[in-house]
Amino acid sequence: MSILITGGAGFIGSHTCIEMQNAGYDVVVIDNLDNSSSKSLERVEKITGKPVKFYKEDVRNKEALRKIFKENEIEAVIHFAGLKAVGESVREPIMYYDNNLINTISLVEVMTEFNVKKIVFSSSATVYGVATQMPLVEGMPLGAINPYGRTKLFIENILTDLFTADNDWCVALLRYFNPIGAHKSGLIGEDPKGIPNNLMPYISQVAVGKLEKLHVFGNDYKTVDGTGVRDYIHVVDLAVGHVKAIDWALKNKGCEAFNLGTGNGTSVLQLRDAFVKATGVEIPYVIDPRRPGDPDEVYANADKAKTVLGWTAKYGIDEMCEDTWRWQKNNPNGYED
């Protein structure tokens, strides 16, 4: 029996392949390599010493999915495949709706054909929209403020409706906070195309000399030092969260959302300072205007994941910085090297 991992060559997917294999699961990956490289999977195999069966296909392609389900005994699916850049989703909304929604619909249709009814979905803290209260708890009202966020919210609704219509399903909606860090080996990590949108890859590219300085987006937020506060979570902790979610889904039926965060907030300047301390590399910065749409602070209450899945994050900010740096330093051009 195997677990199908869509988008398994990507940042979170490749780390999840490792943790799933370490937990004894066989994994099959489908990825169109739109935002990744198959080298990540070669490195996963190097790290675990176990094979990853890989299909370079688009999840929207139902014939390709059927072939995978025919050739492998799939018992559950972890669904990472999708586009994830907020700004790009505002410029290219149809591309986001087409990819994220259609790929999920194709996937659950083929899963239904093959009577596979266990799915773990990559949702995001973005589904809480503009929240008025922190920390975020799963039962709070949901909303979305950009096309990317709307795709996540729609997919949560689609999967919830699917369970309502057929109680044989088990759906875990995992709401990630801000994943950073990399595998301890330094062999796999985040490899953004072009100039990074997100804070940690930006900092690490300044550190390695590819970018000149960090632009801090605003220092007049209502936070500890005026800069934006987020709940950064080590990608390996996040990956282990998927193992726990699969363990749960294989034993249960239901549809539940889980926050995967640490519960701790860290500001932009605190993360920058932690990176400098962990690596000894100076990160020059300037204060720029706020980035439109950014909230003051976002952090999780992750009690439900602890109680129901038995999962808690174990890595702190220092390890997130050290591990990001090992990956970036060893692979200044990501998988291009």
Asked if residue 67 binds ligand UFG (CB under 6 A), the reply is no
User: Does residue 176 carry a catalytic annotation?
Assistant: no
Partner interacting with residue 32 (select from ligand NAD, ligand UFG, none; CB below 5-8 Å by kind): ligand NAD
Residue numbers at the binding site for ligand NAD (CB under 6 A): 7, 9-13, 30-36, 58-60, 80-82, 84, 99, 103, 122, 124, 176, 178-179
Of 134 and 287, nearer to ligand NAD (C-beta) is: 134
Of 82 and 196, nearer to ligand NAD (C-beta) is: 82
Residues from 225 through 284 that contact ligand UFG (CB under 6 A): 228, 230, 268
Of 285, 262, 289, the C-alpha closest to 275 is 285
- Looking at residue 33, its amino acid is L
Asked if residue 199 binds ligand UFG (CB under 6 A), the reply is yes
Pairing label, strands 214-217, 254-260: unpaired
Partner interacting with residue 228 (select from ligand UFG, ligand NAD, none; CB below 5-8 Å by kind): ligand UFG
Asked if residue 126 binds ligand UFG (CB under 6 A), the reply is yes
Least distance to ligand UFG from the beta carbon of 271, Å? Answer: 8
Partner interacting with residue 31 (select from ligand UFG, ligand NAD, none; CB below 5-8 Å by kind): ligand NAD
Asked if residue 172 binds ligand UFG (CB under 6 A), the reply is no
Of 57 and 231, nearer to ligand UFG (C-beta) is: 231
Partner interacting with residue 179 (select from ligand UFG, ligand NAD, none; CB below 5-8 Å by kind): ligand NAD
Of 175, 337, 247, 241, the C-alpha closest to 24 is 247
Partner interacting with residue 230 (select from ligand UFG, ligand NAD, none; CB below 5-8 Å by kind): ligand UFG
Asked if residue 291 binds ligand UFG (CB under 6 A), the reply is yes
Of 118 and 152, nearer to ligand NAD (C-beta) is: 152
Of 163 and 232, nearer to ligand UFG (C-beta) is: 232
Pairing label, strands 53-55, 26-30: parallel
State phi, psi for 100 to the nearest 5 degrees: -65, -40
Of 131 and 287, nearer to ligand NAD (C-beta) is: 131
Site size with ligand UFG, rule: CB under 6 A: 19
Partner interacting with residue 11 (select from ligand UFG, ligand NAD, none; CB below 5-8 Å by kind): ligand NAD
Count CA within 13 A, CB hemisphere, residue 209. Answer: 3
Q: Checking phi first, is residue 303 left (phi over 0); if not, alpha (psi -120 to 50) or beta? A: alpha
Partner interacting with residue 122 (select from ligand UFG, ligand NAD, none; CB below 5-8 Å by kind): ligand NAD
Catalytic option among 25, 148, 221, 315: 148
Of 61 and 219, nearer to ligand NAD (C-beta) is: 61
Angle at which helix 268-279 crosses helix 317-330, to 10 degrees, equals: 60
Least distance to ligand NAD from the beta carbon of 159, Å? Answer: 13
Catalytic site residues? 148
Contacting positions for ligand UFG (CB under 6 A)? 84, 86, 124-126, 149, 178, 197-199, 202, 215-217, 228, 230, 268, 291, 294
